C-alpha cells in the first residue's frame, strides 16, 4: 500500500526503489526515513558491508551480497557479478514509480534493475554524496570512470548531492551531465533537545565524532593535547577506520588526554556526547584538495544543532558555509602549535552563543522539506535523448 501526503497542494503517491551501496550504513536509513516522512513508500535493495542487515524503515529489502569498505574495484566487480543473479532477486520487489541509485556502482546497476520490471519509462535518480578519489585521477582510469558516469547520467532525470561544492568543483568542472540538480543537505531529521553547555573545568574539550578516518587529524590532536599538557583534551566517539589509521589504538592508549568512548547510538546519544565538549572537530585532511574540501559533513549539522562550536579548515566549503553565517572557528594553519594557540584564543561563551542563535532550521530537516523532496521526485519526467551541456573551459581532458 502506498502512502499519500499533501505537499505544495499536490497529492504525492510514490513508490521508490532505493538502490544502496551499503545497506548497513546509517546514512542510507536516514534517507529512507526522509523519503518516508515525505510520503513515499521505499523498497531497499543493494549490497552490504556488514551481516546480518536489519530491515529498518524500508517496506522491503533485498541484499545482493557483501562488499568491502574502501574496496572500490571490488564493489564494481560485485555489481558485475550481480547481473547474473538479478533476475532471481528482483521479482520479489514491487514495481517502483522511481529508482534512486546511490553512488556510481548502483547507478551502473540501475538500468538492469529497471529492465527487470519490464518498463523503460521508470525515472532514475542519481544520488552522489561523495566524490571518490579515483574519479578525479588524470589518467586512463579516471577518464574511463568519468566517461562511464557521464554516459549513465545522461539516462537519469535528476542528480541529488549534498553540497554546492560537489557541483562546482566536480560535476560542472568535468561536465558530468544531468538535466536537473537538487542539493539535499545532510541535515538531521529530528529536533535536538535544549542545549546542555558543558560545565567549565578550566580545560578546553574537543569532540571528534562519527567515522574517524583522518590520520592527520589524529596526529594533530595527539600533538596539540600533549603540547598543551592537557589544557586541551579530546573526546573521540564512533568507528575508527583502521585501514587508514592502523595506529589509532596505540596513539590513544599512549596519550592520557585522548579519550575514546567507542561507538555511539545515532541519534540517541548525540545530546549526551556533544554536551561534554566545547568544540566539534570538523577538520578533515583525508582527501584534502578534493572531496574533503567540497563536502558539508553530517557532523557539521549534528554538532551545531547541539550547540558545539565547529572547527573547520580555511578555504573549504564548510568554512564558506560558516563564514556566511559568522559562526564557528576557522583554522588557517597546518602547524600543531599554531592550531593550539588559535584554539586557546577562542571565547567559548561568545562562540557558542553565536552557534545557538542560528535558526534550528539550518541544521534540522523539517517534515515540509521531506514532502517537498518527494513532490519533486514525483514530478520527474523521462530524460531527453541528449542532455549534454555546452563544453566549458574546465571540460574533462586527459
The segments of the chain whose pLDDT lies below 70 read 1-12, 50-55, 68-92, 195-197, 199, 381-398
pLDDT at 395: 41
Decide if 292 contacts 316 (C-beta within 8 A).
yes
According to CATH, the topology of domain 204-362 is: Rossmann fold (3.40.50)
pLDDT at 295: 97
pLDDT in tens, 77-89: 666 666 655 655 6
Structural domain boundaries of the chain? 5-185+368-378, 204-362
Which residues touch 120 (CB under 8 Å, ≥6 apart)?
Answer: 114
d(CA 90, CA 96): 11
pLDDT at 13: 79
pLDDT at 55: 63
pLDDT in tens, 257-279: 999 999 999 889 999 999 999 99
Domains 5-185+368-378 and 204-362 share a fold: yes
d(CA 226, CA 217): 14
b/e burial code for range 338-347 (CB count within 10 A of at least 16 → b): ebbebbeebe
pLDDT at 86: 60
Decide if 44 contacts 90 (C-beta within 8 A).
no
Cell numbers given for 275: 554536551
For 5-185+368-378, the fitting CATH number among 3.40.50.2000, 3.20.10.10, 3.40.190.10, 3.40.640.10 is: 3.40.50.2000
Amino acid at each position: 500500500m502506498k502512502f499519500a501526503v499533501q505537499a505544495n497542494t499536490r497529492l504525492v503517491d510514490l513508490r521508490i526503489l532505493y538502490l544502496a551501496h551499503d545497506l548497513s550504513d546509517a546514512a542510507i536509513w536516514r534517507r529512507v526515513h526522509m523519503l518516508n516522512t515525505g510520503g513515499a513508500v521505499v523498497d531497499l535493495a543493494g549490497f552490504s558491508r556488514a551481516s546480518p542487515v536489519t530491515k529498518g524503515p524500508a517496506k522491503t529489502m533485498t541484499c545482493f551480497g557483501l562488499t568491502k569498505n574502501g574496496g572500490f574495484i571490488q564493489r564494481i566487480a560485485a555489481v558485475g557479478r550481480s547481473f547474473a543473479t538479478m533476475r532471481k532477486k528482483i521479482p520479489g520487489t514491487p514495481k517502483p514509480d522511481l529508482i534512486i541509485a546511490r553512488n556510481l556502482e548502483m547507478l551502473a546497476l540501475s538500468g538492469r534493475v529497471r529492465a527487470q520490471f519490464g518498463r523503460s519509462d521508470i525515472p532514475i535518480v542519481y544520488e552522489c554524496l561523495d566524490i571518490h578519489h579515483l574519479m578525479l585521477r588524470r589518467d586512463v582510469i579516471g577518464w574511463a570512470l568519468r566517461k562511464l558516469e557521464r554516459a549513465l547520467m545522461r539516462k537519469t532525470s535528476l542528480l541529488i548531492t549534498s553540497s554546492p561544492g560537489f557541483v562546482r568543483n566536480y560535476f560542472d568542472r568535468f561536465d558530468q551531465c544531468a538535466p536537473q540538480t537538487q542539493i539535499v543537505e545532510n541535515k538531521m531529521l529530528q529536533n535536538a533537545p535544549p542545549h546542555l553547555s558543558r560545565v567549565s573545568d578550566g580545560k578546553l574539550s574537543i569532540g571528534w565524532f562519527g567515522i574517524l578516518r583522518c590520520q592527520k587529524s589524529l596526529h594533530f590532536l595527539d600533538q596539540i593535547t600533549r603540547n598543551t599538557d592537557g589544557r586541551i583534551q579530546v573526546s573521540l566517539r564512533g568507528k575508527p577506520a583502521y585501514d587508514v589509521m592502523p595506529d589509532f589504538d596505540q596513539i590513544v592508549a599512549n596519550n592520557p588526554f585522548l579519550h575514546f568512548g567507542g561507538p555511539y547510538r545515532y541519534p540517541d546519544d548525540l545530546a549526551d556526547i556533544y554536551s561534554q565538549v566545547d568544540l566539534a572537530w570538523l577538520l578533515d585532511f583525508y582527501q584534502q584538495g578534493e572531496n574533503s574540501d567540497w563536502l558539508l559533513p553530517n557532523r557539521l549539522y549534528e554538532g551545531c544543532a547541539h550547540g558545539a562550536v565547529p572547527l573547520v579548515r580555511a578555504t573549504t566549503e564548510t568554512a564558506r558555509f560558516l563564514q556566511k553565517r559568522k559562526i564557528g572557528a576557522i583554522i588557517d594553519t597546518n602547524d600543531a602549535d599554531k592550531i593550539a594557540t588559535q584554539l586557546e584564543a577562542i571565547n567559548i561563551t561568545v562562540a557558542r552563543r553565536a552557534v545557538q542563535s542560528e535558526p534550528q532550521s539550518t541544521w534540522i530537516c523539517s517534515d515540509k522539506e521531506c514532502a517537498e523532496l518527494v513532490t519533486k521526485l514525483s514530478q520527474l519526467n523521462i530524460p531527453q535523448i541528449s542532455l549534454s551541456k555546452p563544453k566549458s573551459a574546465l571540460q574533462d581532458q586527459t
